[in-house]
């Protein structure tokens, strides 16, 4: 069996245990809910005899099927095993009730749930089918982004929580959701989030030399400057495209401004990269 299968399994198991701690160790005793399918399952469990462990499996089944159709068999198999494992974890693992403090419950419950979902995503699975549903909806409704769909779904969930529970519990649940969301971003993308930088400068040759000497890769795009009274100078220019980690963006900007203080820069976040050179050489 290939090594990455063990790695993925380790991520998914760690994710299951973390989500289980967030749910049983924090949220359930205070009647808080999370967003997404997990939140729907928790709200259903609070208002009906359907156990949370059953609701998580049943409500996620349609999303696993969508994931199989849209993403692939491996994803569906991993997600099925992950969700089944989470259901078993909630049923059989005796987590302690960590704290009665409501704010700590919201923050750390969200943290452990977000960490667990993020770890499972690193392993190629989901423990909550919301992202799959958002992906499918956004593909069929081009005006909606995935983040927009997730936001709309959670507005409905927390609105229902305010109606069936209390406004106070709904507000604390929103804190839980925000904590989980930020933790997922950190686990999936890490501290080394990538930033793409486009550089337009007359000193592009000097900048390119210094950037490559620092260890980064540079892509040269052929362009034409477009400012002036007539909207174009009709002068070709080499545009530099560099991808660096977020922690190194300040170093890159210093190199650029030292070479040309009037350089035109555009920078924007990049979810992930593969290959190339995106980290500078160690400083001596």
| 146 close to 134: Cβ distance less than 8 angstroms | yes
Domains with residue ranges and CATH for the chain: 3-189 (no CATH), 194-270 (3.30.70.120)
pTM metric for this prediction: 0.74
Contact call for residues 268 and 260 (beta carbons, < 8 A): no
Burial 138-154 (b: 16+ CB within 10 A, else e): beeeeeeebeebbeebb
Q: Give the chain's count of helices (H) and strands (E).
A: 11, 4
Q: Tens place of pLDDT for every residue, the chain, 284 residues?
A: 467 788 889 999 999 999 999 999 999 989 898 888 888 999 999 999 999 999 999 999 998 898 888 778 888 899 999 999 999 999 999 999 999 999 999 999 999 999 998 899 888 888 888 878 777 777 777 777 666 777 788 889 999 999 998 999 999 999 998 998 888 878 876 655 688 899 998 888 899 999 888 888 898 888 776 665 655 556 778 899 998 877 788 888 889 989 888 888 998 887 666 666 666 555 44
Radius of gyration of the chain (CA): 24
CB 105 within 8 A of CB 99: yes
Question: Interhelix angle for 52-70 vs 130-140, to 10°?
Answer: 40
Which backbone phi and psi does 182 adopt, to 5 degrees?
-65, -35
């Amino acid at each position: 069996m290939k090594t990455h299968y063990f790695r993925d399994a380790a991520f998914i198991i760690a994710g299951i245990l973390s989500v289980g701690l967030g749910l049983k160790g924090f949220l359930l005793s205070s009647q808080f809910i999370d967003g997404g399918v997990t939140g729907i399952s928790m709200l259903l469990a609070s208002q009906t005899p359907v156990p949370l462990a059953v609701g998580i499996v049943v409500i996620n089944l349609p999303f696993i099927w969508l994931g199989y159709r849209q993403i692939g068999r491996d994803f569906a198999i991993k997600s099925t095993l992950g969700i089944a494992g989470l259901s078993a974890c909630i049923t059989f693992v005796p987590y302690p009730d960590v704290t009665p403090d409501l704010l700590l419950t919201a923050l750390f419950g969200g943290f452990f749930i977000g960490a667990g979902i993020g770890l499972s995503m690193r392993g190629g699975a989901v423990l909550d089918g919301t992202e799959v549903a958002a992906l499918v909806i956004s593909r069929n409704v081009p005006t909606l982004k995935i983040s927009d769909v997730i936001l709309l779904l959670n507005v409905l969930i927390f609105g229902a929580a305010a109606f069936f529970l209390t406004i106070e519990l709904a507000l604390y649940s929103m804190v839980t959701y925000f904590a989980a969301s930020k933790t997922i971003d950190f686990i999936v993308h890490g501290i080394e989030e990538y930033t793409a930088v486009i550089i337009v400068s007359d000193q592009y040759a000097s900048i390119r030399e210094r950037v490559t000497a620092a260890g980064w890769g540079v892509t040269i795009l052929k362009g034409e400057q477009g400012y002036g009274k007539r909207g174009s100078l009709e002068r070709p220019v080499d545009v530099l495209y560099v991808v660096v980690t977020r922690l190194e963006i300040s170093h890159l900007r210093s190199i650029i401004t030292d070479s040309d203080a009037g350089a035109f820069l555009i920078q924007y976040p990049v979810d992930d990269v593969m290959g190339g050179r995106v980290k500078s050489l160690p400083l001596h």
